[in-house]
């Protein structure tokens, strides 16, 4: 079908847009606006770990909320009891865990008595080997120690002191939390006692508004509690608070940046065209693009992340470019050409422009971050729909549009004349920008730190560090993950990991580690044989010192994972246990004080079903990998652009056309260096868009069918609208978004400044 007869195209496109509206109406109620910080990260950072386990792990992290409170009331009772009662007023908080009741403490002791033969620790197991001589010596040393406090009743009920061994093992398991009056407590550097509380966000994960209300409720009752109890000090930790901080930042960016963008865009179009119809046409094109982008994202992900919404605002200015380019043509030549002739005149250039930009966003789909992937998918669909709207509807909607010379036409003509005839301008400006690039590039540094995804609030960071110091549970997010098809397989693999961890600890490759104190059923059977072998010797030695009624119980009561999980003994350990519906079971083994992450990875590689996860290092490596990958793709794209330009325009003009693209990239990076910011994955992604958008300017200017003055006016409008949207990213409070905006704005500004280099010769234009 010919472009000069787009009657049917308009009807078809109207039908598609109506279908998109219906789809959006159906998808919106089933979708949600996601503000979780963790969901911005790659779905699975380890290729060796099943994605379901990793997802279950991150979902649980999202739900956890932890408090530590210090202080006493006037009767010298811990304020933790009152704080627990206060927290229970919040219905969204489920599974709040405070002190153990007297009955639970009794169950705790009864559990160790009941399962003492099933709950043997590794050190006891080693002492029981070879007939139990070392265990006997250890028992006697405990008996005669001044500080051990061994009673006759303990010896009669547990001659091998298996319960004592298990308790000592738990005390040395790597946590500074101890049981005091039923509470898990820790002490700070000044010796003050802090009480530990833990809870989860109940039900399905709430939306952004629900989570914000929950955070406000927690902050309100915290402030009220401290006001009523001035001696109280409360520390809080949880992903909920970071996610809420991120969503509030994004909402602020949307309100301020979005409002400024839209108001600026409306005023600009009204001033240029002095008519409401061009404004309506442009807004319609942008709206159709937003509609298509939203439907595509919600169809694929069933949600949209808040950061995606903020960064996708950048396509407002880009999608407006297509409408403005066509409307500028109609504004000046509306009396000389029909709307369809104007479309034919600029149509090929529009297709090339949207294709290059879509390819640029398509490269961003390679980034493993859901937020960036969503933004890329939104932009690809949105820009394509905006361009199709220009093709299918603008010739109809712009009929009868008043014609008039655009503002500053004389100035634009003088600028073009300077580029054509003034050597100081034609060669001086590129030379100056080359020097600027060279100076800036020498000051660049690379930083692949994942923390740039979010600006962390200092108060939350300080609280988290204080809690980590007291509990010795580091917030480094470094774990071994042990998994298996059944709990028994997982526990056997966990047992195989423990000796490697002890050896690494002995070699000072790590500080502390915590593994579930639960034995596999096969190990329990082996331990029973050790007890039977050691029983006669310990009974003989105890009789020799006058304890004749001590008899070792060698029977075995198997301890299953379900019984252990349902007992109070597993309190504080259940967070390290994961079990999927198909029975696949996994356990986390947190470690701290790691000297060399690569050596930990080597340990995991030697054991089946064991994966080492250093989340920050893994994410940093991903940042580095994709930064290098996309940098390489940009270089390949430059080569393709150069070859294409030389084929179309000859080698000399083709290479000249490439100058704006190269300098826009280098100047973008130089601007980043002048702001004192490093090269990151986000700045490289911005370079990718600089290339895609900057090529549009050279394409508009290089159109042999176009008029240079009109082209310059159109791309100047495009520049201003793009800066109104992308320029707002410069003021974002998130460093990643701010650096993204820095590179984009400086890069496309240079691309606009050098775009006259793409002007075809007069002879070529006349021939066209």
pLDDT above 90: percentage of residues in the chain: 9
Are 299 and 346 found together in one domain?
A: yes
Are 389 and 285 found together in one domain?
A: yes
Last residue of a domain, one of 358, 376, 404: 404
3-class SS of residue 588: strand
Cα dihedral value 517, 522, 525, 531, nearest 10: -50
Would you state the pLDDT for residue 88?
87
Are 400 and 412 found together in one domain?
A: no
Q: Does the residue 531 lie in any domain? A: no
Q: Does the residue 181 lie in any domain? A: no
Going from the C-alpha of 657 to that of each of 660, 661, 698, the distances in angstroms are 7, 8, 7
Residue-wise pLDDT tens digits, 193-208: 898 888 888 765 555 6
Query: What mean pLDDT comes out for the span 307-315?
Result: 64
How many CB atoms neighbour CB 274 within 10 A? 12
In this model, does residue 569 exceed pLDDT 90?
no
Single pTM value for the model: 0.67
Backbone angles phi, psi at 236, to 5 degrees: -130, 145
Are 391 and 351 found together in one domain?
A: yes
In this model, does residue 768 exceed pLDDT 50?
no
Residue-wise pLDDT tens digits, 727-762: 667 776 667 777 888 888 899 899 888 888 877 655
Q: Give me the domain span that covers residue 689.
A: 407-442+650-768
Out of 84-98, 303-317, 456-470, least confident range: 303-317
In this model, does residue 766 exceed pLDDT 50?
no
In this model, does residue 491 exceed pLDDT 90?
yes
Last residue of a domain, one of 354, 385, 404: 404
Query: What mean pLDDT comes out for the span 117-140?
Result: 85
Q: Does the residue 172 lie in any domain? A: no
Last residue of a domain, one of 374, 404, 434: 404
Would you state the pLDDT for residue 702?
66
Cβ atoms of 561 and 492 closer than 8 Å:
no
Are 654 and 750 found together in one domain?
A: yes
| Average model confidence (pLDDT) across the chain | 80
Q: Does the residue 98 lie in any domain? A: no
Are 280 and 390 found together in one domain?
A: yes
Are 335 and 363 found together in one domain?
A: yes
Quote the tokens at residue 364: 């961003």
Number of domains within the chain: 2
DSSP state of 256: I
- Parallel, antiparallel, or unpaired for β 32-34 and 303-305? parallel
Q: Does the residue 286 lie in any domain? A: yes
Are 429 and 326 found together in one domain?
A: no
Can you tell me the distance from the alpha carbon of 495 to that of 493, in angstroms, rounded to the nearest whole number? Answer: 5
Are 433 and 355 found together in one domain?
A: no
Under the banding of pLDDT at 50, 70 and 90, the label for residue 57 is confident
Of 70, 72, 63, 68, nearest to 98 by C-alpha is: 68
Can you tell me the distance from the alpha carbon of 337 to that of 343, in angstroms, rounded to the nearest whole number? Answer: 10
pLDDT above 70: percentage of residues in the chain: 84
In this model, does residue 405 exceed pLDDT 80?
no
Q: Does the residue 311 lie in any domain? A: yes
Are 327 and 418 found together in one domain?
A: no
Query: What mean pLDDT comes out for the span 585-594?
Result: 86
Q: Does the residue 36 lie in any domain? A: no
Are 372 and 431 found together in one domain?
A: no
Left if phi > 0, otherwise alpha if psi is -120 to 50, otherwise beta: which for 720? alpha
Would you state the pLDDT for residue 65?
87
Are 681 and 734 found together in one domain?
A: yes
In this model, does residue 454 exceed pLDDT 70?
no
Q: Does the residue 42 lie in any domain? A: no
Tokens 């509380």 locate to: 197
Can you tell me the distance from the alpha carbon of 626 to that of 633, in angstroms, rounded to the nearest whole number? Answer: 10
- Parallel, antiparallel, or unpaired for β 93-97 and 233-238? unpaired
């Amino acid at each position: 079908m010919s472009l000069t007869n787009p009657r049917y195209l308009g009807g078809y496109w109207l039908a598609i847009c109506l279908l998109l509206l219906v789809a959006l109406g159906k998808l919106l109620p089933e979708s949600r606006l996601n503000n979780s910080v963790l969901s911005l990260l790659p779905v699975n950072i380890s290729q060796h770990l099943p994605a379901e386990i990793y997802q279950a792990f991150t979902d649980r992290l999202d739900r956890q909320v932890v408090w530590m409170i210090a202080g006493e009331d006037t009767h010298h009772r811990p304020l933790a009891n009152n704080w627990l009662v206060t927290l229970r007023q919040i219905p969204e908080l489920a599974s709040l865990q405070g002190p153990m009741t007297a009955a639970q403490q009794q169950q705790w002791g009864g559990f160790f008595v009941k399962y003492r033969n099933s709950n043997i620790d590794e050190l006891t197991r080693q002492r029981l080997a070879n007939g139990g001589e070392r265990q006997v010596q250890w028992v006697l040393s405990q008996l005669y120690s001044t500080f051990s406090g061994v009673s006759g009743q303990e010896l009669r009920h547990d001659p091998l002191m298996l319960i004592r061994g298990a308790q000592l093992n738990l005390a040395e398991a790597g946590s500074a939390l101890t049981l005091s009056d039923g509470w898990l407590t820790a002490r700070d550097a000044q010796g003050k006692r802090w009480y530990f509380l833990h809870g989860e966000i109940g039900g399905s994960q709430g939306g952004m508004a629900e989570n914000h209300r929950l955070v406000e409720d927690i902050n309100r009752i915290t402030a009220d509690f401290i006001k009523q109890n001035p001696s109280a000090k409360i520390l809080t930790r949880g992903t909920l608070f970071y996610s809420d901080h991120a969503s509030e930042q994004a909402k602020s960016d949307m309100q301020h940046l979005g409002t400024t963008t839209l108001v600026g865009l409306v005023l600009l179009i009204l001033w240029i065209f002095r008519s409401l119809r061009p404004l309506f046409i442009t807004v319609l094109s942008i709206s159709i693009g937003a509609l298509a982008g939203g439907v595509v994202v919600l169809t694929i992900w069933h949600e949209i992340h808040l950061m995606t919404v903020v960064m996708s605002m950048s396509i407002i200015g880009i999608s407006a470019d297509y409408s403005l380019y066509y409307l500028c043509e109609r504004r000046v030549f509306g009396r000389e050409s029909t709307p369809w002739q104007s479309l034919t005149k600029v149509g090929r250039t529009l297709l090339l422009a949207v294709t290059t930009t879509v390819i640029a966003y398509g490269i961003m789909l390679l980034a493993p971050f859901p937020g960036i992937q969503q933004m890329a998918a939104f932009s690809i669909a949105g820009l394509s729909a905006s361009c199709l709207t220009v093709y299918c509807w603008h010739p109809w909607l712009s009929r009868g549009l008043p014609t008039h010379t655009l503002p500053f036409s004389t100035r634009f003509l003088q600028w073009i004349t300077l580029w054509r005839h003034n050597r100081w301008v034609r060669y001086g400006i590129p030379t100056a920008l080359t020097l600027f690039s060279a100076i800036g590039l020498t000051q660049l540094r690379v930083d692949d730190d994942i923390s740039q995804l979010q600006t962390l609030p200092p108060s939350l960071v300080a609280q988290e560090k204080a809690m980590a110091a007291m509990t010795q549970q580091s917030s480094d997010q470094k774990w071994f993950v042990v998994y298996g098809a059944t709990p028994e397989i997982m526990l056997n693999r966990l047992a195989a990991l423990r000796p490697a961890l002890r050896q690494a600890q002995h070699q000072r490759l790590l500080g502390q580690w915590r593994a579930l104190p639960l034995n596999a059923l096969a190990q329990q059977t082996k331990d029973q044989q050790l007890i039977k072998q050691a029983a006669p010797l310990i009974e003989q030695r105890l009789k020799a010192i006058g304890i004749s009624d001590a008899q070792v119980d060698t029977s075995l009561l198997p301890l299953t994972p379900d019984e252990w999980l349902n007992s109070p003994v597993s309190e504080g350990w259940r967070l390290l246990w994961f079990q999927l519906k198909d029975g696949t079971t996994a356990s986390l083994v947190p470690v701290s004080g790691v000297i060399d992450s690569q050596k930990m990875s080597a340990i995991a590689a030697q054991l089946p079903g064991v994966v080492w996860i250093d989340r920050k290092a893994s994410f940093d490596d991903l940042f580095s990998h994709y930064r290098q990958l996309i940098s390489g793709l940009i270089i390949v794209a430059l080569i393709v652009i150069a070859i294409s330009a030389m084929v179309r325009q000859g080698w000399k003009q083709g290479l000249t056309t490439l100058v704006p693209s190269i300098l826009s990239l280098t100047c973008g990076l130089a601007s980043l260096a002048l702001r004192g910011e490093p090269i990151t994955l986000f700045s490289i992604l911005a370079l990718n868009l600089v290339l895609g958008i900057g090529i549009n300017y050279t394409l508009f200017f290089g159109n042999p069918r176009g008029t240079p003055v009109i082209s310059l006016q159109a791309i100047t409008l495009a520049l201003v609208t793009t800066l109104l949207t992308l320029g707002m990213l410069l003021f974002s409070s998130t460093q990643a978004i701010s650096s993204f905006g820095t590179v984009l704005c400086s890069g496309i500004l240079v691309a606009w400044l050098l775009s006259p280099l793409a002007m075809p010769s007069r002879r070529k234009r006349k021939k066209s």
